[in-house]
C-alpha cells in the first residue's frame, strides 16, 4: 500500500473522503516522521482499514472523523467480537488495537478527533513469547556451510557474509540489507539504523570483516557510489530478505537444523550466546537496540543457567 496513495480510489473502504485524506496523511507521518519501515506501515494500514471497514458495516454509513470521535464502548466491543468470530488470534487483535490507538493519537495531535474510550481499550492478554535461538554448534555449522548453497562464487561469499553479519553483530535482517557501501571500509564498529530510525554502534568482529571483504573481492558489481547497496542480488539490485530466508531453509534441510533456524534466530543466538559468556544485560540491550530492558530480559529465561549464576553472585544470602 502506498504511503500517500495514487490520487485515485479510497485507501479506506467504508470511509468518507475526509477520513480517507486523514489516513493518507497518517501513513505519510509514519514513513517520514516516525521512520516506520514499509512492512510496519503496511501492517498499520491493513489493521486500520479493517477497523474502518467494520465500522461502515456496523453503523450502516460511511465512517468519518466525527464517527471515530463518537464511538462508544459498545461499538468497540462489537469490533472485538467481530474479530474473534472471524478467527483472529489474540496477538493479531493486540496489534490491531495498537494500530488504531496510534491513529487516534496522531489525529488528536493533528487537531482531528479524540476518543478516550478507544485509548482506554485493553489488548487481550498474550502469552509471553521467548526468543528461540539456535545452539552455538548449529550457528557455526550454518555459517561454515553457507558458502555451499550457491554455485556462483560471489553469491556463495555473499550468503556467508550476510549470515556472519547477522550472527556476529546481532543485526535484524532488514538492518543488514539496508546497509550501503558508504560504511566501507569497515572499522572496529558499525553504525546501524534500527527501528524508529534510532542509530546504534555495534562492534565488528574480525570474522565479520573478513567475510564481507571476501564477498566484496568477488562481487562483479563494483560501481554505484556510497549509496549503492552493500549486499546485492544476482542482478545487481539490493538483496531481498526472502533470498536470505530461503538460504536458511536450505541450510535447515542440509544440516538438520531446527525449524526455528531463521535469519532472526541468528540475532537471538547472538544475544543468548553473549549472555551465556557473561556479557552484561544492559550492554546486550544497547547492542540489540532494544528500547526497553524488559525486552532484553527475555533472554535470561532462555538461559536459566546464566540467570542462576547472576543470582548466586548478586544475592546477599548466596554469599558465604
Query: What is the set of active-site residues?
Result: 172, 195, 264, 267, 290, 299
Separation of alpha carbons 169 and 201, rounded Å: 10
Helix axes 263-276, 293-302, angle to 10 degrees: 80
Which residue in 32, 39, 230, 261 sits closest to 146, CA to CA? Answer: 261
User: Taking the CB of residue 58, how many other CB atoms lie within 10 A of it?
Assistant: 15
* 74 burial level (CB within 10 Å; 0-12, 13-18, 19+): exposed
Decide: 68 and 101 in contact? Cβ < 8 Å. Answer: no
Which residue in 88, 92, 130 sits closest to 260, CA to CA? Answer: 130
Amino acid at each position: 500500500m502506498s504511503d500517500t496513495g495514487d490520487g485515485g480510489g479510497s485507501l479506506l473502504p467504508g470511509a468518507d473522503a475526509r477520513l480517507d485524506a486523514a489516513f493518507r496523511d497518517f501513513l505519510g507521518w509514519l514513513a517520514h516522521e516516525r521512520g516506520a519501515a514499509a512492512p510496519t506501515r503496511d501492517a498499520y494500514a491493513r489493521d486500520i482499514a479493517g477497523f474502518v471497514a467494520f465500522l461502515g458495516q456496523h453503523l450502516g454509513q460511511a465512517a468519518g472523523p466525527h464517527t471515530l470521535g463518537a464511538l462508544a464502548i459498545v461499538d468497540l466491543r462489537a469490533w472485538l467480537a467481530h474479530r474473534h468470530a472471524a478467527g483472529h488470534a489474540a496477538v493479531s487483535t493486540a496489534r490491531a488495537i495498537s494500530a488504531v490507538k496510534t491513529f487516534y493519537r496522531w489525529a488528536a495531535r493533528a487537531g482531528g478527533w479524540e476518543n478516550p474510550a478507544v485509548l482506554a481499550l485493553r489488548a487481550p492478554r498474550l502469552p509471553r513469547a521467548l526468543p528461540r535461538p539456535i545452539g552455538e554448534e548449529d550457528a557455526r555449522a550454518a555459517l561454515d556451510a553457507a558458502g555451499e548453497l550457491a554455485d556462483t562464487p560471489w553469491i556463495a561469499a555473499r550468503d556467508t557474509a550476510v549470515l556472519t553479519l547477522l550472527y556476529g553483530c546481532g543485526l535484524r535482517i532488514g538492518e543488514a540489507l539496508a546497509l550501503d557501501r558508504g560504511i566501507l571500509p569497515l572499522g572496529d564498529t558499525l553504525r546501524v539504523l534500527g527501528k524508529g530510525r534510532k542509530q546504534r554502534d555495534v562492534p565488528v568482529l574480525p570474522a565479520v570483516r573478513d567475510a564481507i571483504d571476501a564477498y566484496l573481492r568477488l562481487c562483479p558489481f563494483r560501481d554505484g557510489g556510497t549509496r549503492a547497496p552493500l549486499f546485492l542480488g544476482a542482478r545487481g539490485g539490493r538483496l531481498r530478505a526472502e533470498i536470505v530466508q530461503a538460504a536458511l531453509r536450505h541450510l535447515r534441510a542440509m544440516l538438520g537444523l531446527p525449524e526455528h533456524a531463521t535469519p532472526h534466530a541468528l540475532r537471538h543466538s547472538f544475544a543468548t550466546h553473549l549472555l551465556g559468556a557473561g556479557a552484561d544485560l544492559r550492554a546486550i540491550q544497547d547492542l540489540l537496540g532494544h528500547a526497553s530492558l524488559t525486552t532484553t530480559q527475555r533472554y535470561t529465561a532462555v538461559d536459566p543457567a546464566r540467570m542462576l549464576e547472576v543470582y548466586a553472585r548478586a544475592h546477599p544470602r548466596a554469599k558465604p
